[in-house]
Structure 1
Amino acid sequence: MVTANHTHLLATYITALHILQFHGILDGYGHMSLRNPENHSTFFMFHTVSPALVSSLADIALYHVSDAEPTTPDGPRGFIERFIHSEILKRYPGINVVLHGHADILVSYSISSVPLRAAIHMAGYLGGATPIFDITRYYLPNETQDLLVRTPRLGAALADEFSPNNNGECEDHDLPDHDLVLMQSHGFTSCGVELEKVVYQAVYAKTNALVQAEALQRRHDAYNGPAVALEGEGDGGKDKDGIVYLTPRQAQDTWATMRRDVSRPWGLWKRQVQVDPLYVNELES
C-alpha cells in the first residue's frame, strides 16, 4: 500500500519519470522502480499509463522483491517485465533504483560489433565495453521468444550480466560491477543507489552513445571504410577503431568527481518538466 509517508520520495520519483521521458530515455513502454526505504523487501513501481503521464499515488503500487507480486491481494500485477526490477533488487541489496528503457541510440549498440564505451567525461561510469544481455541464450524449448523479461529466471539471468566476470560467485556483493547493461535488440537496463544519479547516468549514457556514434561516422567518412571496433588501445591514445576513449583511470576519476553533485543538471531537468504542461505531478508541494 502506498501511504502519505512516502509522498516526498514518490514526488521525486514521478519527477524522475518525467525527466527521463523528456530526454528520450523512457518511451511509452519504459519503466523504473524504487526500493522502499522503510522495508527493503518491497519496491515501488508505477503500473498505469506511460512514464510521462504518471501523476499521483494512484499510479504507483508496492511489490515484493522476492517474487514481483503486489503486496496486497487486490493490488495490480503491473508490467510483464517487473521481474527485471525484482531480480536486480534481490541480487544486489545495495541497489535501490532500477531503470529499463529503449532509447534508440542505445539499442543500436546492442546489435553492433562496436561496444559502447566511455568517450566523454560525463559518462566515466560506463568504463570499458558495456555488457550486452542476449536473452536468446536463456530460452527454454517452446518458451515465448518476444525478448521480454517475463519470468524470474530471465530476470535473474539479466541481473547476473551486471557482474559478468564473477561467474555467479558474488551472491553476497551489495553492488554490481556495471551500472548499465544493454539488452540485445531490445533496450537497456540501468541501476544505482540514488534516484537522481540513475537519472544522470541514463541521460549521459545516451549523450555518450550519440557522441561515440558521431565520432565513428566521421572516422568512417574520413577513411572511406567501415570502422571496426577491436579490443585494446592503439598509439596516440586512440583505440584501434580510431576513436579516443577514456582510459580506465580517467573513467574512474571522472565518475568520482561527477557523482559528488548531480544537483545542477537535476535542478535544470526538474524545471524543464515543471513548466511543460504535458507533465503533471500532484505530489509536489
Structure 2
Amino acid sequence: MIAANLTQLFMTFINGLHILDYNKVLDAYGHLSVRNPNNAATFFMSRNEAPALVTSPSDIVEYYVANASAVEPSPPSGFIERYIHSEIYKRFSGINAVVHSHSSAMIPYSISGVPLKPSIHLAGFLGEVVPVFDISQYYHDNDTQDLLVRTIPLGAALASKFSAGNSTESLPDHLVVLMQSHGFTTCSTDIETVVFQAIYSQTDAEVKSDALVIQHAFLDSNSNHHEGLVYLTQKQATDSWATDKGTIQRPWDLWVREVKVSPLYVNTLDP
C-alpha cells in the first residue's frame, strides 16, 4: 500500500475548516476531523483554536481512535469534544471525516420537536429521519452536565445515534445527528463530502424555517387552508443524493477560491 500524501490531506483539511467558517457552519467553536489514511487507528484535528485561524500543519494534532489521546506526548491543547470524532471512527470503519457544529439554524430542530427533513434536493442525504441526541439521558450523578461530549461513553452514545443497529459497522444509517440544545454532527467518507453535508444541512434548516414562517402567516389569514410542508420522498432523497455526490467537486472548487482570496484565511500549504 502506497502511503497517502499528508501534505495534500492537510491542505484540504485546512481549506475545509476555512470553508466551514466562511459559510458560518463553524465560528470560534466547532471542529472538523479526518482519519489518517496511512493508519486507520489515528485521526487528525486542529489544536484548540478557532477554525478560521488554523494555517499550517503545526496547528494539527494526531489522536488515537481508541481513546482520543494524543499520539505525541506533549501535544498542543486539544478540543474537549474530540470524543465525538474518535467514537464515530471507532464504530464506523468506512467513515473518514467528521464535522461538529453549533449552527444556530440547526439547533431549533433539536429542541422544538419539529423534525428536520430534506426540503431541498441538495439535502437528500438527510434521509427520512434525522435523529436527535439527548445527552442528558446518559449523565451520571457526578458528571459535568455542560452538554459537551467530553468522555468515551458520551461519544459512544452519540455515535450509536448514527445507526439503527447495535454493533460496529462500516457505514452509518444516518449521516447527520442533531444534538439537543447543542448543535449537530455529520460524518462521511472524505473531507469534501462532509463539508458539503454540513453546509447543506444548515441550508436545508434555513429553508424549512423560512417555509414554516410563511406557512403560519398564510394559515393565520386563511383559516380553511390546512396543507403541510412538502418534503422530498424517500426515493427523491435517495436519487438526489446519488446525483449530488457526483458534483461535489464543483462547489468545493468555488468554496476553496472564496477562502483563498479572503485575507482572513491563511493556508500555508495552498500554492
TM-score by length of 2: 0.95
Map 1:112-261; keep pairs closer than 5 Å: 112-163=112-163, 165-166=164-165, 168=166, 170-171=167-168, 173-224=169-220, 242-261=228-247
SS of the equivalent of 1:104 reads: coil
1:76-102 deviations in Å (ceiling 9; x for gaps): 351110100100000001000011011
1:241 Cα deviation after fit? 6.6
Structure 1 counterpart of 2:218, which letter?
A
* Alpha-carbon contact 1:19-1:270 (below 8 Å) kept: yes
* Alpha-carbon contact 1:17-1:52 (below 8 Å) kept: yes
Structure 2 distance, partners of 1:261, 1:38, is: 27
Structure 2 distance, partners of 1:48, 1:148, is: 15
1:16-58 deviations in Å (ceiling 9; x for gaps): 0000000010111111110000000000110132000000111
Are 2:19 and 1:19 equivalent residues in the alignment? yes
1:73 Cα deviation after fit? 1.4
Change (3 A) 1:241 1:30: farther
Q: Percent identity?
A: 53
Structure 1 distance, partners of 2:268, 2:10, is: 10
SS of the equivalent of 1:224 reads: helix
Alignment correspondent of 2:111: 111
Alignment correspondent of 1:85: 85
Match of 1:263 among 236, 246, 249: 249
Structure 2 distance, partners of 1:241, 1:284, is: 50
* Alpha-carbon contact 1:69-1:77 (below 8 Å) kept: no
1:141-194 deviations in Å (ceiling 9; x for gaps): 12110000000000000000001x32x1x32x2000010000000000000001
Structure 1 distance, partners of 2:233, 2:145, is: 38
Structure 2 distance, partners of 1:209, 1:133, is: 17
1:128 Cα deviation after fit? 1.5
Structure 2 counterpart of 1:246, which letter?
L
Unaligned 5+ residue runs, structure 1?
A: 226-239
| RMSD over equivalenced CA pairs, Å | 1.4
SS of the equivalent of 1:62 reads: strand
In the TM superposition, structure 1's runs of 4+ consecutive aligned residues that sit over 6 Å from their partners are none
Alignment correspondent of 1:41: 41
SS of the equivalent of 2:34 reads: strand
Unaligned 5+ residue runs, structure 2?
A: none
Are 2:266 and 1:280 equivalent residues in the alignment? yes
Structure 2 distance, partners of 1:241, 1:60, is: 50
Are 2:58 and 1:58 equivalent residues in the alignment? yes
Which region of structure 1 is more displaced relative to structure 2, 247-256 or 215-224? Answer: 215-224
1:75 Cα deviation after fit? 2.0
Structure 1 distance, partners of 2:94, 2:66, is: 15
* Alpha-carbon contact 1:70-1:76 (below 8 Å) kept: no
TM-score by length of 1: 0.90
Structure 1 distance, partners of 2:265, 2:48, is: 15
SS of the equivalent of 2:184 reads: strand
